[in-house]
Amino acid sequence: MKQYFKIDEWRIIEEGFNPEENKVAESVCSIGNGHMGQRANFEESYSGDTLQGSYMAGVYYPDKTRVGWWKNGYPEYFAKVLNSINWIGIDIKVDGETLDLAKCKILDFTRILNMKEGYLHRTFTAELPSGKTVKVDAKRFVSIARKEIGAIRYSITPVNFSGKLEITAYLDGDVKNEDSNYDEKFWDEVSKNVSSGEASLVVSTKKLDFHVCSTMKFDIVQVGRKINVTADTIEKEKYVSNTVVLLCSKGEETVIYKYTSNVTSRDHEKSELINVSKAALLKAYELGFEALLEEQANAWADKWKESDIVIEGDSSAQQGIRFNIFQLNQTYTGKDERLNIGPKGFTGEKYGGSTYWDTEAYCIPFYLATADEDVARNLLIYRYKHLEKAKENAKKLGFSKGALYPMVTMNGEECHNEWEITFEEIHRNGAIAYAIYNYVNYTGDKAYLGEYGFEVLSEISRFWEERVHFAVPKGKYVMHGVTGPNEYDNNVNNNWYTNRIAAWTLDYTIEVMNYLKEKEPARFEELNAKLQIKDEEIAKWKDIVANMYYPEDKELGIYLQQDNYLDKEQILVKDLDPKNLPLNQNWSWDRILRSCFIKQADVLQGLYFLEHLYDDETIRRNFEFYEPRTVHESSLSPCVHSILAAKLGMQEKAYEMYLRTSRLDLDNYNNDTEDGCHTTSMAGTWMSVVHGFGGMRVRNGQLQLNPFIPGHWNSFSYKVMFRGALLKINVTSENLIVSNESENAITLSVHGSTYTVSGNETLNIAC
């Protein structure tokens, strides 16, 4: 594994400029605030290899799909995260010569992502083709405290000459998506305005008519003194700029402070966009860059207080886990329940749509433990709001009732178009049901069930009811034609995980129904007036729960991933010539499908979710059978194995699995970080630490901890928010120190013994 970035506990440091690593660094050093995000592109022109990316959360484009052979039921469009107005642009000319690092001799270069305070910092000294040398120091951030605001401090100093400096600050909406299916551009101009010192640009998407408005203001400071110059203005299609020409002397610094405000029609009336944007801009401008940056540092300090993990004795691991927590916090803040977590966050275009089952399976546990309850709740409500679309989706696929949530979505409609996934990877419905259970189990917020949860559960249950059928030869309910979490098998019958999560959903739905009938009868009546659940339906659900078919091998004592799994040629990954790995880059698809090799936890995903329903020996037998057949070619795979291994006391295995994702993007492990970071899998890494090494569970409303220290770590600590308490849990080789950083007392269990920690108290437990 290569290590490109320097190790530092709070910063990601690129030292020296390597054009071939530029897109990776652009991804890794991306900045975002939940409302918008920006890859670590250069402010000045760059003619080398780059992926320009500026994204506004929730602003997407329904691109025309591209399929080989159309199948009935395919969606008409593929929703794409949209590359939006470039608001960072500052072109520099020195005596008429453009500063472009692709054409300079670079004498020194750093690009640093400061995770503690939430900004990007770049410095370089570059010799232009003419021999003139300049020194640049550029800082920028998108504000956590003021979500519309992006601010840049860009400083330039002539090193070996005095001359004319031309600075062009611009807003450019004439951008495109690299992954546009037919090379189309997606934006139209609505309006623009530019005068000396400020500019605004409004663009709209060619479809769906999202409007985005960016405004900018700037100051120029030379040798510490703000100067007033009249800027030349340029207007082109979807483009506005100000150009300032200055004389500057050798060794003297010129700084441009560029402030931008970026708003969208998702949040404001279209007619108000310019006003709203300008108002926010003016406030930020008046506050000034340094004050804004201080505000930013404080906001990040608050985030770290709730979510930091500290690892002693392993700086590389420390950097890795902080990077993951930082990116997750940049991507989703939980303030807008219309948003969700894209697989690449704000770091790239790839995978288009914003929401996968990753959210429910991997991200919700992170937000549950590190943010207010409302954040996870909003992620659940997001799906509640898509329930009607999910019902339409089920209808479209020929079901008479029920809801099938999409595999990939922006607005609740399916965007994916590969039949074996779109139509068959239906276990996603189970994860959405499970997330409700998980949320209520963690928070104790049973009110959610009556408010939102039961409707979703009922409609998912109705889907499962129709999706199974009774197989006469087996005398059981079966489910044919599915793709399990292991996408290296398609269109199989009786995927154990899918059968299990389906039956579990039915069972849980009945349980919730009984709870509501008893505890919230009025609400239940109200709900049932809407849902009209018939007695026959409930009877059928019970019958399915009682008579679901689960493929298993009694001799081996394992569940079978699907019918006839053991008919496959059984080879272990360790016995495979490593030149075959990763399989998805070396093998044709049919060969992958025929093999016994598993992409990511499948049977084990079920045993992980439903751990409380299985004894350790059952889990161990399945783990020992399946893990050696698993190639972990999804970034979502190792964390589940790490947590299960930790639970089973297989500490080395747990650590080995943890290492496979903890620095996935920092070390560009899969050679694809240039497309963006694996944002959702970062939550899995967090889970490996907290649920795995920390052994954290919630059972019967109580927090349970069964920690151990992995690898060569000296100690580690993590933060957990649980039912009103904020705990710092520090695991050392001698003891477990629980610091209650809130006012509220909490009772928890450690290695099976129960303790109470009062508000603002610290408890030391010898381990």
- The residues that touch a second copy, with contacts defined as CB under 8 A, are 65-69, 71-73, 182, 396-398, 417-420, 423-424, 469-474, 478, 480-481, 490-491, 493, 563-564, 566-570, 584-594
Residue type present at position 128: L
Q: Which is nearer to a second copy, 470 or 550 (CB)?
A: 470
Query: Helix (H, G, I), strand (E, B), or coil: what is residue 212?
Result: strand
Q: Shortest distance, CB of residue 466 to a second copy, whole angstroms?
A: 11
Give me the least distance between CB of 12 and a second copy, in Å please: 31
User: Residue 237 in contact with residue 192, Cβ under 8 Å?
Assistant: no
Contact between residue 220 and residue 226 where contact means Cβ atoms under 8 Å apart = yes
Residue 628, CA atoms < 13 Å, CB-side half-sphere: 11
| CA gap 189, 207 in Å, rounded | 13
CA 33, CA 415: separation in Å to the nearest integer?
Answer: 25
Buried b (16+ CB within 10 A) or exposed e, 561-598: bbbebeebeeeebeeeeeeebebeeebeeeebbebbbb
Position 415, amino acid: C
Q: What whole-number distance in Å separates Cα of residue 27 and Cα of residue 37?
A: 11
Please provide the DSSP assignment of 506-537 as one string.
HHHHHHHHHHHHHH-HHHHHHHHHHH---HHH
Distance of closest approach, residue 491 Cβ to a second copy, in angstroms: 5
26 is catalytic: no
**Token pair 């019902």 in the structure block, residue:** 391
Q: Which is nearer to a second copy, 238 or 678 (CB)?
A: 678
Cβ atoms 462, 401 nearer than 8 A = yes
Q: Which is nearer to a second copy, 420 or 451 (CB)?
A: 420
Between 1 and 472, name the residue whose CB sits nearer to a second copy. Answer: 472
CB of 505 to a second copy, least distance (A): 19
Please, what is the Cα angle at 743 between 742 and 749, to 5 degrees? 70
List, in sequence order, every residue forming a beta bridge with 188; answer none if it has no partner. 204
Q: Specify the residue, 515 or 587, whose C-beta has the smaller distance to a second copy.
A: 587
Residue 419 Cβ, how far from a second copy at the closest point, in Å?
4
Residue 402 CA to residue 237 CA, distance in Å, equals: 48
Residue 343 phi/psi, 5-degree rounding, is: -60, -20
Output 65 or 762, the one with its CB closest to a second copy: 65
Nearer to a second copy, 591 or 751 (CB): 591
- Tell me whether residue 516 or residue 596 sits nearer to a second copy (CB atom): 596
Strands 746-750, 702-705: pairing is parallel
Specify the residue, 423 or 541, whose C-beta has the smaller distance to a second copy.
423
Q: CB neighbours of 732 closer than 8 A, spacing ≥ 6?
A: 709, 714, 715
Q: Of 487, 520, 627, 633, which residue is the catalytic one?
A: 487
SS (H, E, C) 448-491: HHHHHHHHHHHHHHHHHHHHCEEECCCCEEECCCECCCCCCCCC
Closest approach of Cβ 597 to a second copy, in Å? 13
Minimum distance, C-beta of residue 555 to a second copy, in the bound complex (Å): 10
Q: How far is the CB of 563 from a second copy (least distance, A)?
A: 6
Quick one: tokens of 402?
């029920």
CA nearest to 488, candidates 600, 642, 566: 600
Closest CB to a second copy among residues 191, 570: 570
Cβ-contact 667, 2 below 8 angstroms: yes
Candidates 132, 49, 121, 125; CA nearest to 93 is: 132
CB of 700 to a second copy, least distance (A): 39
Shortest CB 476 distance to a second copy, Å: 9
Kind plus residue range of the DSSP H or E element containing 593? helix 589-594
Identity of the amino acid at 196: S
- Which residues are known to be catalytic? 487
